[in-house]
Chain A
Amino acid sequence: MNARDLDSLTIAGLAAEISNREISPVEVTGLFLERIEQVNPTLNAYVTVTADNARADARKAEEEIAHGRYRGPLHGIPFSIKDNIATKGVRTTAGSKILANWIPDFDATVVTKLKEAGAVILGKTNLHEWALGGTTINPFYGTTHNPWDLTRIAGGSSGGSAAAVAASLCLGSVGTDSAQSVRNPASMCGVVGLKATYGRISQHGTVAGTGAYSCNHTGLLTRNVEDTALVLEALAGRDPNDPLSADRPVAKYTESIGKSVKGLRVGILRGYFEEVMTREVRDIFYAAMETLQQLGMEIEEVTTPHMDLIPAVKVCTSRVENASAHDRNLRARSRDYSPPTRNAYLAALLVPASAYIMAQRVRRIICDEFHELLRKVQILALPTVGFAVPAIVECEQGWLDIDGKKIRRQDERGGTDSLTAIPFNVTGFPAMSVPCGFAKTATPIGMQIASGPFQEELIFSVAHAYEQATDWHKRRPPIDVS
């Protein structure tokens, strides 16, 4: 095996070879670390590479497997972790200056579970400052570049994770998603990103203030749908350390792969986000819907009466919950935030409690309406982001071009790139972004496949069927490692 072979690896494929002892975890880990050394200075996907730990974990995995103690499909598989998820003994910055030197003395539950499954952790990935934004243009740790086009953003806030998976700098990554933060960069980098149902994966160890308590989710990024199913099986479940985690049995998600999707009803979600959707994205998305139809699914357009209020509910909820986590730092270290981030938190401190409670009341109406939708359709679909991957310079200037119309990248409703994703943060419904085409800029476009609470199995069946009917997930960015 050589560095070029890494592009074709998947977790499921590599797991089979590792369990058969055809490939050594030590060899694989060495190749990934070599590639990180070559490519990361250009992409800036990792902020910390834990090469020594990774080599030690790989040696341990190899020894265990040699002695017949194979732990399962993540044993010896190289992973990365978003840098707002606590890792014992390894710096965890949350993309902030304030935590620049924080070395946790504990692992987040998802990290513990990954380690128990025998995964090899290669390092920590870059993110937007405090995960508050969708570009991963980070004033303290630099910008993560999109592997498909280095002049463009990788999305965010888990931009480093998505870029690392896309560029073969790991095979899976764990991120967080409070507004879009796993699905958006997955879409922009051409990989699969899952935000499971609220509470499905423990959030214990996610840095407070990197996502609103009631909207945030631990999420997964991999190269294909089957790999995501494998990782979710390992990481999902009730956690006594996370009072908001769900006490529900964990399904065997890989068994959903390959199940018939004929006759399933898919609702194309219509709403406010269409004003920031380009014709190009719409056309690519509707072509994907035709593929679903060819696979035997029934397609119709759906919406809800209070759809337009989702941004107000989301922004009000997120601002207030996030600001509460930052109160102490705002008092003591306000100059250690970038001005836009500090200003957003300070403005949030002025939101009246009555607005927050009203947002939660309207949120219940919205959730009820989404449950009602599920009486008509089993799957919801819409583009992950309304426009093609923007250039870094456009984001720095703060403007986007939507079919010739100049719009602000960020307004009072939050990032325009998040508008398509937030319905599933407000409702907590599971949603997955899968690659569904390429823009004329040769950068990936993704679509979301969502369903009702704890209906991840349906999502896996539909997403996998779509993936098998297309080849978008097999394409790799043009990175020169010669």
Chain B
Amino acid sequence: MKDSVQRLNAEYGLNLSDEEIEVIAKQAEAGQRLFQTLFEVDVEGIAPALKIDPAERQ
């Protein structure tokens, strides 16, 4: 994840310190662990709930 933050740092011209890169990488990793639980759900046949759906607005 640190590599990804470093790439972001370069692409966005952020001038992040090593310490800042570390903090952001840890935060992103924690998020990934949380989101991993979503991939364990059986979503066969389930379409995403998008608020642009007319049905969502009725």
- Chain A residues engaging chain B, CB cutoff 8 angstroms: 198-199, 213-214, 243-248, 306, 309, 311-313, 315-316, 319, 330-331, 334, 339, 343-344, 346-351, 355, 357-365, 367, 411-413, 428
In Å, the complex CA distance between A243 and B37 comes to 32
CB-nearest residue of chain B to A348: B31
| Contact of B34 with A361 in the complex, beta carbons under 8 Å | no
In Å, the complex CA distance between A411 and B31 comes to 9
Most buried by A among B20, B24, B31, B58: B31
In Å, the complex CA distance between A363 and B27 comes to 23
Beyond the given A199-B51, A306-B41, A346-B5, could you list 11 further A-B residue pairs with CB under 8 A, ordered by the A residue number? A247-B57, A309-B41, A315-B34, A316-B38, A330-B14, A350-B28, A355-B38, A361-B41, A362-B41, A363-B49, A413-B34
| Contact of A319 with B38 in the complex, beta carbons under 8 Å | no
- Chain B residues engaging chain A, CB cutoff 8 angstroms: 1, 4-5, 8, 12-14, 20, 23-24, 27-28, 30-35, 37-39, 41, 43, 46-52, 56-58
Known contacts A244-B57, A362-B43; is-contact A351 B1 (Cβ 8 Å): no
| Contact of B41 with A346 in the complex, beta carbons under 8 Å | no
| Nearest 3 Cβ contacts at the A-B interface | A360-B48, A364-B49, A412-B30
Known contacts A246-B57, A334-B12; is-contact A364 B31 (Cβ 8 Å): no
In Å, the complex CA distance between A367 and B38 comes to 15
Most buried by A among B14, B30, B38, B51: B38
Please give the distance in Å from A233's CB to the nearest CB on chain B. Answer: 20
Query: Chain B residues near A361 (CB, 8 Å)?
Result: 41, 43, 46-49
| Contact of B24 with A343 in the complex, beta carbons under 8 Å | yes
In Å, the complex CA distance between A412 and B5 comes to 18
| Contact of B4 with A350 in the complex, beta carbons under 8 Å | yes
Which of A213, A248, A343, A358 lies in contact with B38, CB distance below 8 A?
A: A358
| Contact of B38 with A347 in the complex, beta carbons under 8 Å | no
Query: Chain B residues near A316 (CB, 8 Å)?
Result: 31, 34-35, 38
Please give the distance in Å from B38's CB to the nearest CB on chain A. Answer: 4
Query: Chain B residues near A306 (CB, 8 Å)?
Result: 41
CB-nearest residue of chain A to B49: A364
At the interface, is chain A mostly helix, strand, loop or mixed?
helix
In Å, the complex CA distance between A411 and B14 comes to 24
Please give the distance in Å from A304's CB to the nearest CB on chain B. Answer: 13
Query: Chain B residues near A358 (CB, 8 Å)?
Result: 35, 38-39, 41, 43
Which of B8, B30, B37 lies in contact with A309, CB distance below 8 A?
A: B37
Query: Chain B residues near A347 (CB, 8 Å)?
Result: 24, 27-28, 31
| Contact of B34 with A214 in the complex, beta carbons under 8 Å | no
**Can you spell out 9 A-B residue pairs with CB atoms less than 8 angstroms apart?**
A214-B51, A309-B38, A312-B34, A316-B34, A346-B8, A350-B28, A355-B35, A364-B47, A367-B49
| Contact of A339 with B20 in the complex, beta carbons under 8 Å | yes
In Å, the complex CA distance between A365 and B37 comes to 14
| Contact of B31 with A315 in the complex, beta carbons under 8 Å | yes
Please give the distance in Å from A407's CB to the nearest CB on chain B. Answer: 15
Please give the distance in Å from A365's CB to the nearest CB on chain B. Answer: 6
Which of B1, B13, B52, B57 lies in contact with A331, CB distance below 8 A?
A: B13
Query: Chain A residues near B28 (CB, 8 Å)?
Result: 347, 350-351
In Å, the complex CA distance between A343 and B27 comes to 8
In Å, the complex CA distance between A347 and B24 comes to 6
In Å, the complex CA distance between A202 and B31 comes to 31
| Contact of A359 with B35 in the complex, beta carbons under 8 Å | yes
| Contact of B34 with A362 in the complex, beta carbons under 8 Å | no
Which of B35, B52, B58 lies in contact with A312, CB distance below 8 A?
A: B35
Most buried by A among B5, B37, B57: B57
In Å, the complex CA distance between A222 and B52 comes to 31
